[in-house]
Structure 1
Amino acid sequence: MKIPHLATFPAVPRVSGKTDSDQRLLKLGAAIRAQRLALGMSQEALADASGVDRSHMGEVERGKRNITFLNIVRIAEAMSVKPSEIISAAGL
């Protein structure tokens, strides 16, 4: 089987807080922050419990970082909720 060269695939634009016109990252970050605050956790405690750098966690909560699915799972586990609960709370 012949594998197509990468140049034949169209470039996919990178999504970041700057290019997220639907504000999905902002909504997700707000849902993470709301759950964290409801649990009485500090941002630093959540970052430590999930293994995510504290400064990265702050940027996620402010909608400035395009967080990976695996980090969503880690954050959800640290708050004892399902990832789907966070995504649903964000209205996504």
Structure 2
Amino acid sequence: MDYKKYILESTGKAIRRHRTTMRLTLLDLEEATGISKGDLSLIERGKKNVEFTTIVRIAFSLGIQVSDLYRITFPEEKAK
């Protein structure tokens, strides 16, 4: 399993879930964080690895704890 890819995708999905639950657009989040909507889109799709401080800015702007973005459960791998 590619753990890095899995973590990036899981974190991105969590960001998107929180953003859409709050009925925010990428433009709204861009204005709140100062991160371009293009970069936010890449982050949400798990295509961009960012510094932890960027994740903190996103979480703060969404009004959530950073830990809310990292509730990751790894799928069980089948024995070979």
Q: TM over 0.5, yes or no?
A: yes
Larger radius of gyration: 1
TM-score (norm 1): 0.71
Aligned residues between the structures: 71
Q: Where does structure 2 lack aligned partners over 5 or more consecutive residues?
A: 74-80
| 13, 19, 43: which one aligns with 1:36 | 19
Paired letter, 1:21: D
Distance 1:55 1:68 in 2: 16
After TM superposition, the runs of 4+ consecutive aligned structure 1 residues lying more than 4 A away are none
TM-score (norm 2): 0.81
Instruction: Give secondary structure in 1 for the equivalent of 2:20.
Output: helix
Identify the residue that residue 43 of structure 2 maps to in structure 1.
60
Distance 2:34 2:67 in 1: 19
Query: Identical aligned pairs, as a percentage?
Result: 30
Paired letter, 1:79: L
| 27, 30, 41: which one aligns with 1:47 | 30
The residue correspondences of 1:49-88 to structure 2 (distance < 5 A) are 49-88=32-71
- Which structure's residues are more often helix, by fraction? 2
The Cα of 1:73 is off from its aligned counterpart by: 0.5
The Cα of 1:49 is off from its aligned counterpart by: 0.4
Instruction: Give secondary structure in 1 for the equivalent of 2:49.
Output: coil
Residue 24 in structure 1 maps to residue 7 in structure 2: yes
CA RMSD between the two structures: 1.5
